[in-house]
Amino acid sequence: MRINPRYINRLVRMGLNVQAYFTVGILIIIVAIIFFKGFPHTNFAFIFSFPEDMGREGGIFPSIVGTIQLALLSILLATPLGLGTAIFLTEYTKESLFTKFIRFGVESLAGIPSILYGLFGFIFFVIKLKMGWSLLAGVLTMTIMILPTIIRTSEEAIRAVPRQLRIVSYSLSASKWETIKKVVIPAAIPGILTGIMLSIGRAVGETAAIIFTMGSSLRLPLSLMDSGRTMAVHFYILAREGISMEKAYGTAVVLVLSILLINILAYYIMNKAIARYS
Amino acid sequence: MDTKIATDRLRLSFGETEVLKTISIKVHKNTITGFMGPSGSGKSTLISVINRMIDFENNVRIEGDATIDGTSILDGSINPIELRRRVGTVFAVPIPLPRSIFENVAYGPRLKGTSDRTTLHHIVEDSLKKAFLWDEVKDRLGTSALKLSGGQQQRLCLARTLALKPEIILLDEPCSGLDPISTAKIEDALSELKSEYTIILVSNNTKQIARISDFSAFFYLGELIEYDTTEKVFTAPSETKTEDYIQGKFG
């Protein structure tokens, strides 16, 4: 029996619709639960005051600061490093065993569970280099962790820049580096930003690797050598040790809102970049 | 008449395939020289030797020599970046850089180190005027070059090349994707420009070559079949192949 293609068409469309709504639906449910449970405990004082009694009372100010410090510093370290690697791989090497080796290394790095990064950071930065549980150890560990994402997304973005644009640039007497700087990277900015956004998300949401390297001090980290905790770690400890579910959900609300804020900001920057270079 | 560009028994092959077979040609200063021939005749490859864009191809072997003002441009001591300031190129497909009209034209001058706003503005205006585009874009220099029409984009590419203040302009089928009106504008611009520049126009459009070039060269399968004044080539070609091509018997 032959089914009318029109029905198949309708069926496929319906199926795809359901899949899309399912994805969005799950996101909405998660955010709704978090807001429902946490929003009553989230207010101005919660955001700007210090925690008391292990977090049973008070706010989460130090962990907000810790989160921003960790994410910002590791992005500032990983972006130039990752972008440099990506430029080297795409522009300055021919495909060879060497580049395959580097790429294989990068991909393996991306697949390692975060707890292993944490363990490595603990053994190497915290113990061997005597950094102790500190913002610095956390930042360095996180940098290594997000590097593969930045390299891979930047590499793909750079590769997607049409060859003709480079040829035009060369024909207008640009050198290789001038072409990369003035044409290739600007055209690749949206892709590079995607990688940075994903990395910020990873840094903000990470717990295991952070606890091992940055520790979980409740104090405000004032120097690179201070221990501290991020919102995700704070949430984990509050919930895991049954300290306060209310405060845990309150933290989660702030965490979700800040991720939302970062995304909006990133889109804003991206649109600016696209508007400027197109 | 002064010779600006010359090749001396220039041979070029990509791997095993010989694309240019012993080409010797002298292009005269301040003229438009038309390069015509069916695709695969080597005319585009020849101009990519003159601007050294051939450097970006793999597996190229070159023998013989090419000179500008009597100096070899294939010599190892020649800096291709310096050379490309003297030899501007306009490609078949107009490819504006993803930035504003102003910044497209200012791209070359900025690379040369010109950063003074007034000087840049002067160069941009001058180049756009020479490319017959100024009147259409003078009120929107800050908008994206990608928003221009195809014909405007190609004139922008010409202006961008002129902003380098080159001595030579190479045009590789610049009108292949353009409508007749845009083509006419490019041709008008070129006819005005030849007093200051030496122009090589690669084209499949023999009528266009006949209209605006002073000298015409006919290439076929990597060989220079005929080269003379345009009048002579189009009225009394000495080779039957040239005649057949001009009459549209093949191509």
What is the per-residue pLDDT across A228-247, written as a single tens digit (0 to 9) for each?
A: 999 999 999 999 998 899 99
Q: How far apart are CA A3 and CA B81, in angstroms?
A: 64
Span A169-175, average pLDDT: 94
Contact call for B107 and A175, based on CB within 8 A: no
Contact call for B91 and A168, based on CB within 8 A: yes
Contact call for A172 and B84, based on CB within 8 A: yes
CATH number of B109's domain:
3.40.50.300
Q: Is A271 on the interface with B (CB under 8 A)?
A: no
Q: How far apart are CA B182 and CA B75, in angstroms?
A: 38
Q: How far apart are CA B202 and CA A163, in angstroms?
A: 22
Partnered with residue B172 across adjacent β-strands are B202
Span B111-129, average pLDDT: 93
Q: What is the pLDDT of residue B26?
A: 95
Contact call for A167 and B161, based on CB within 8 A: no
Contact call for A171 and B53, based on CB within 8 A: yes
Under 8 Å CB-to-CB from B124, ≥6 apart: which residues? Answer: B102, B105, B106, B141, B159, B163
pLDDT at residue A101 tops 60: yes
B246, amino acid identity:
I
pLDDT confidence bin for B47, thresholds 50/70/90: very high
pLDDT confidence bin for B55, thresholds 50/70/90: very high
| B39 inside domain | yes
pLDDT at residue A278 tops 60: no
Query: What average pLDDT does chain A have?
Result: 91
**Three-state SS sequence of B68-131:** ECCEECCCCCCCHHHHHHHEEEECCCCCCCCCEHHHHHHHHHHHCCCCCHHHHHHHHHHHHHHC
Enumerate the domain spans of chain A: 5-40, 42-276
Q: Compute CA A206 distance to the chain's CA centroid, rounded to the nearest angstrom.
A: 9
Please name the helix (run of DSSP H) or strand (run of DSSP E) that holds residue B171, with its range, or none: strand B168-172
| B18 inside domain | yes
Domains contained in chain B, number: 1
Contact call for B88 and A171, based on CB within 8 A: yes
Q: How far apart are CA A2 and CA A244, in angstroms?
A: 61
pLDDT confidence bin for B76, thresholds 50/70/90: confident
Span A166-186, average pLDDT: 94
Q: Compute CA A183 distance to the chain's CA centroid, rounded to the nearest angstrom.
A: 26
Instruction: Find the residue in B nearest to A187 (Cα).
Output: B98
Q: What is the pLDDT of residue A96?
A: 86
| B251 inside domain | no
> Which residues on B lie below 8 Å from A187 (Cβ)?
98
| Token pair recorded at residue A227 | 């221990």
pLDDT confidence bin for A83, thresholds 50/70/90: very high
Q: Is A174 on the interface with B (CB under 8 A)?
A: yes
Q: What percent of chain B has pLDDT over 90?
A: 80
| B82 inside domain | yes
> Which residues on B lie below 8 Å from A95 (Cβ)?
none
pLDDT at residue B1 tops 80: no
| Token pair recorded at residue B67 | 């000179």
pLDDT at residue B231 tops 90: yes
Q: Is A167 on the interface with B (CB under 8 A)?
A: yes
* Side-chain-side CA neighbours of residue A251 (13 Å): 33
CB atoms within 10 A of CB B48: 20
Higher pLDDT, A273 or A228: A228
pLDDT at residue A104 tops 80: yes
Span A41-48, average pLDDT: 88
Q: Which one of B58, B97, B170 would you mutate to disrupt binding with A, by most A Cβ within 10 Å of its Cβ? A: B97
Whole-angstrom distance between the N-terminal and C-terminal Cα of chain B?
A: 31
Whole-angstrom distance between the N-terminal and C-terminal Cα of chain A?
A: 53
pLDDT at residue A195 tops 80: yes
Q: What is the pLDDT of residue A2?
A: 78
Question: A42-276 sits in which CATH class?
Answer: mainly alpha
Q: Is A132 left (phi over 0), alpha (psi -120 to 50) or beta?
A: left
Closest CA to A57 of A45, A71, A65: A45
Contact call for A183 and B97, based on CB within 8 A: yes
Q: What is the pLDDT of residue A277?
A: 64
Distance from CA of A169 to the nearest CA of B (A): 8
Q: What is the pLDDT of residue B251?
A: 64
Span B194-215, average pLDDT: 93
pLDDT in tens, A117-158: 999 999 999 999 999 999 999 999 999 999 999 999 999 999
Q: Is A185 on the interface with B (CB under 8 A)?
A: no
Nearest to B146 among A174, A182, A278 (CB): A278
Q: Is the pTM of this model over 0.90?
A: no
Under 8 Å CB-to-CB from B141, ≥6 apart: which residues? Answer: B100, B101, B102, B124
pLDDT at residue A95 tops 90: no
Residue A71 phi/psi, 5-degree rounding, is -65, -45
Q: What is the pLDDT of residue A45?
A: 87
pLDDT in tens, A15-33: 999 999 999 999 999 999 9
- CA angle B236/B239/B244 to nearest 5° reads 85
pLDDT at residue A162 tops 70: yes
Partnered with residue B226 across adjacent β-strands are B218
Span B227-237, average pLDDT: 94
| Token pair recorded at residue B246 | 């001009």
Nearest to B53 among A170, A182, A278 (CB): A170
Contact call for A165 and B85, based on CB within 8 A: no
Under 8 Å CB-to-CB from B173, ≥6 apart: which residues? Answer: B44, B92, B202, B203, B204
| Cα–Cα separations (whole angstroms), residue B85 to A245, B25, B119, B168 | 69, 22, 18, 9
pLDDT confidence bin for B163, thresholds 50/70/90: very high
Query: What average pLDDT does chain B have?
Result: 92
Q: Report the side by side order of strands in the sheet with B198-202.
A: B87-90, B168-172, B198-202, B32-36, B215-220, B223-229
